[in-house]
Amino acid sequence: MTVRLPETQRIPPRRTRYIRDERDPNAFLVQRSVFVDDAVLAREREAIFNRCWIYVGHESEIPNPNDFVARTVAGRPVLFTRDKEGHVHVLYNACTHRGAEVCRERRGNTRRFRCFYHSWSFSTDGRLVAMPDEEGYPEGFDREAHRLRGPARVESYRGFCFMNVHADAEPLDEYLAGAKYYLDLTADQSATGMVVTPGAHEYSIKANWKLLVENSFDGYHAIPVHKTYLDVQRARGDEIAGNTSTDWKQSHAYDLGNGHAVTVKEAPWGRPIARWKPSMGADTKPIIEESYRRLVEVHGEERAAEIANLDFNMHIFPNLVVNNIMAVIIRTFYPLTPGLLHVNAWSLAPPEESPAARRVRNESFLSFLGPAGLATPDDNEALESCHRGYASDPGEGWSDVSRGMDFPEPRNWDELQMRTFWRRWSDLVEGMVEY
């Protein structure tokens, strides 16, 4: 049997301007100036958001030829398209003539994107296909050289599409590393592949983006901060003790490589994919049981049980969260200033589920994960409270992220997952420079 050593024996210490990963005594500290300093954000935009693979969208959002979605991805306006041949593209939403947006709709289906400024028109694969008074341009004008530009690399895994502006980036398959296992668990909830349900949540938080990274897989705050949600579920009949060690079963945290991390558990709430609880209502039990039967039919009993019962909160570096808990949420976020971030969130579901099953899923999703639910507003207030607190000593204060450092198998309410993020952040932003 392999004996796993704790981080303190596997990972060398580091002492940089912003990170203290120390031994004897063991401690992991983050300098609070990283949350409020404009210079740090400028460095992050260059070293992280312009270097890493960034999530764009799910291929189910553009199911048909010539479908498109327009959105801003890590500060860049892009068009996420499927061309007439069915190929997926990511194009910058900027005309190659004078730079105006070529599409001002949020989504739709079109054969051409036409710039309203001078009427240059582009196909859904980015080719310049029409322009007024083309004969007025000099000899040698090349339409192909004026096609819509886009990121150097666009790749997908199980329907999750990413972009990278650097041509020499490692393949997405390698970048995702251990995160692929949990994306597979998500995608395998449907025999035909999961789909993004209609609608999206968009909101802002007056806090630093890295605080949302930490919060997205922080099990330590769940009992005190989300007491209202847990009390409601208990009142509806669920067996919730309100105690971390009792409520979270098979609790673990894992470093997935490249800054990605996940916390896993079996939680006391229900899951619309295949785990019924009394709070979901007696009328929903046959629906949930039928969902589990389908999973067994497709995957076998062992895999079906894992898909149905393993709750996980996963962060894919730098700004993608997949929470597979009482529902499945995809969440991305991007900093506008050191103290303001914008969030986008979508719900994933099996396309084959019945209207009744979709209702159960939406209720589970909105009650906890929605921006007006019983949990997300609590999280947002906690992050904003932290950010306000940093104004007291941004250059001197340190945040402690040491919980579980001595454990060979940290739990989901420990902080290995956050240290995983911060070590990768330091590698990229600080370049392993010692201070």
- The answer to whether residue 420 sits within a structural domain is yes
Residue 21 lies in a domain: no
My answer on whether 129 and 213 are in the same domain is no
What is the structure's pLDDT at 226?
Answer: 84
Which of these, 258, 368, 248, lies nearest to 311 by C-alpha position? 248
pTM: 0.95
Mark whether 126 and 271 lie in a shared domain: no
**Res 313: pLDDT:** 96
Long-range contacts of the stretch 340-343 (C-beta < 8 A, 24+): 340/204, 340/205, 340/206, 340/207, 341/204, 341/205, 341/207, 341/208, 341/209, 341/212, 342/202, 342/203, 342/204, 343/201, 343/202, 343/203, 343/204, 343/205, 343/212
pLDDT tens readout for residues 208-218: 999 999 999 99
Q: Is residue 411 part of a domain?
A: yes
Residues 168 and 244 in one domain: no
Find the CATH number of the domain harbouring 224. 3.90.380.10
The reply to whether 114 and 243 lie within a common domain is no
| Residues contacting 24, CB < 8 A, separation 6+ | none
**Alpha-carbon Rg for the chain in angstroms:** 23
Cβ within 8 Å of residue 54, ≥6 positions away:
73, 74, 162, 163, 164, 318, 319, 320
Please indicate, yes or no, whether residues 95 and 242 belong to a single structural domain of this protein: no
**Percentage of the chain with pLDDT > 90?**
75
368, containing H or E segment:
helix 355-368
Q: Has residue 385 been placed in a domain?
A: yes
Write out the E strands in 110-236. Answer: 112-114, 121-123, 128-130, 153-157, 160-164, 195-196, 201-205
CATH of the domain at 160: 2.102.10.10
Range of the domain at 227: 188-429
Has residue 131 been placed in a domain? yes
Neighbours of 128 (CB within 10 A): 20
Q: From residue 338, how far is each of 8, 38, 211, 387 by CA, in Å? A: 31, 6, 11, 10
- The answer on 238 and 317 residing in a single domain is yes
**Could you say which of 115, 145, 173 is where a domain stops?**
173
Taking 70 as the pLDDT cut, the residues of the chain under it are 1-3, 394, 432-435
* 120/145 same-domain check: yes
Last residue of one domain, picked from the residues 124, 143, 173? 173
Output helix, strand, coil percentages for the chain, rounded to the nearest 5.
35, 25, 40
In this structure, is residue 98 part of a structural domain? yes
Helix (H, G, I), strand (E, B) or coil at 330: strand
Boundary residue ending a domain (146, 173, 200): 173
Residues 139 and 216 in one domain: no
262 and 237 in a common domain: yes
Q: Are residues 221 and 169 in the same domain?
A: no
Domain annotation covers residue 268: yes
Q: Give residue-wise pLDDT tens across range 187-244.
A: 999 988 899 999 999 999 999 999 999 999 998 888 888 888 888 888 888 888 777 7
- Structural domains in the chain (count): 2
Co-location of 193 and 79 in the same domain:
no
Residue 123 covered by a domain: yes
Check whether residue 200 and residue 322 sit in a common domain: yes
